[in-house]
Structure 1
Amino acid sequence: MKRTFKIIAINFMVLSTLIVGVEILSQLAYLLKNGNLLFLETISVHSRTFEIHPYLVGRLKSSVKVKKNNKTITTTHTRWG
């Protein structure tokens, strides 16, 4: 029982280390290719398009226009239905 737990714990640590390593290498590859980190770019887009809401995590701001990769996203507070 003790040996099985030890094997499982070691496997979990190795897998976790590999996942974190792949994430770091992916961020570095993106940085070298595009000149900025992906998660920082994502945060800036989200802060421009979402606002804090007391009951929800966030909601879309009205009349926001975001351009990225030759694509435009426009938001409104209109709901259909």
Structure 2
Amino acid sequence: YICVHTGYDLQAVGKNSFEDLSTIKKVVKNAQTAIAGGIKLETLPEVIKQHPDLVIVGGGITNKEDKKATAREMKKLIEQG
């Protein structure tokens, strides 16, 4: 896997990994792609459009009151593609 990740410090200034993922998807042919950092229910549809092979979610679930419902909704969005 080649993973693009945006840490909290970069997220705080408005950066995300979506453009980087798009670039990686265009040039990488012999590896799978992954994305992490800043993935939450509100941003997941944009991530899905990029068709990463792996989506890594941390705070987008752990910072929510109802973690189980959030994870369930994220899974549903991913399965719908």
Q: TM-score, normalised by structure 1?
A: 0.21
Give the structure with the higher percent helix: 1
Q: Per chain length, whose mean CA-contact separation is higher, i.e. which structure has more relative contact order (CA < 8 Å, sep 6+)?
A: 2
Q: Which structure has the bigger radius of gyration? A: 1
Provide the TM-score with structure 2 as the length reference: 0.21
